[in-house]
A and B are shown apart, each in its own frame.
Chain A
């Protein structure tokens, strides 16, 4: 890993496959976020520029996700459709793309239907990087906070000079949940519906948890570290509640209530 200072003065460390570690605060109020995809064959960088993700975008994303379990005799099969939700998020938030050329040499953005001409796999990959946030592996486990339950998150946020920057160890400090919070979470989580009746071959459709998780985050969050708003660290709880990225809220509170719900940190190469 080579440490360097880029042209913007950012303190970055080069890592694998076009992702850099970033030791600055994560700026929540960026007007635009850029996801850079490196093409496998040519190595060319294509950039996807998104506006700031709002609550309505996240609501639409979760509304489009379907999680179900189909029972067939004594076997069950989980059905999860996330791809169409990612496409919906992309469709809502994309502002422009850079680096895509038509076969006559023109810029893809010259087409009125430019969004539709971007390969679906690129759109899904870009949306995935835009909203992906994972629990930090082992971060902070050696320390015990005397007052709060602490969850650490990692994410990629925006590209700088064609390289996605990774933010690690973003801390969310929660007032410890009570048994009443636990009951509320689990009561809601297990309120599924079954299609096909209670006696036949049935599909269980699980409830969407994002609304409840967002509410629980707003109730329990005490403070965060690693984020900035208008150039400064978030000093007040009210600002955290108002400005925190909703995907980060949901990831952090999910980790607090059910540590198995978050994916282990995986490879995020930014490649298409």
Chain B
């Protein structure tokens, strides 16, 4: 049986953050599914399909939450002495950056409105196509 230190499993942290970004991207769909489920006979199935898909132990998501807070604090310009910031935190912050790059690649922003697209390689969302908001 594996015993993993969450703070040092940077691949796991990256994966957890990609899943959290995906959850945020799909939040509007979940809200629509919740409305549909109120009137549907298969409400449980609809809600289950729309539910967040987390694959890791809860500790990963808790740690990502802390790293995001730490990142926000540092972006405010609050400086920590180098000796005070643990290497696991530094590598954790790098894992967040790698997760963002992966998410950007998987779901590039629509060139018209900025909404995250479903698939890699797309350039516009259906709404922008319909409104002819952008050329090409």
**Residues in chain A within 8 A of chain B (CB atoms):** 69, 71, 74, 76, 179-180, 182-184, 186-187, 189-200, 202-206
Contacts and interface: CB of A to CB of B under 8 A. Distances in A.
B66 A192 contact: no
B99 to A, nearest CB: 14
B26 to A, nearest CB: 13
Contacts of A195: 1-4
Interface residues of B, number: 37
Interface stretch (B27-35, B49-57, B108-116, B124-132): B49-57
B52 A193 contact: no
A206 B58 CA distance: 10
Q: Point out which of A183, A199, A206 has the most chain B C-beta atoms below 10 A from its C-beta.
A: A183
B7 A190 contact: yes
A193 B69 contact: no
A76 B88 CA distance: 26
B40 interface: no
A73 to B, nearest CB: 9
A191 B87 CA distance: 13
B57 A190 contact: no
A180 B80 contact: yes
A69 B62 CA distance: 11
A196 B57 contact: yes
A71 B62 contact: no
9 contacts: A69-B58, A182-B73, A183-B85, A191-B88, A192-B59, A192-B62, A193-B59, A200-B2, A205-B59
A204 B6 contact: yes
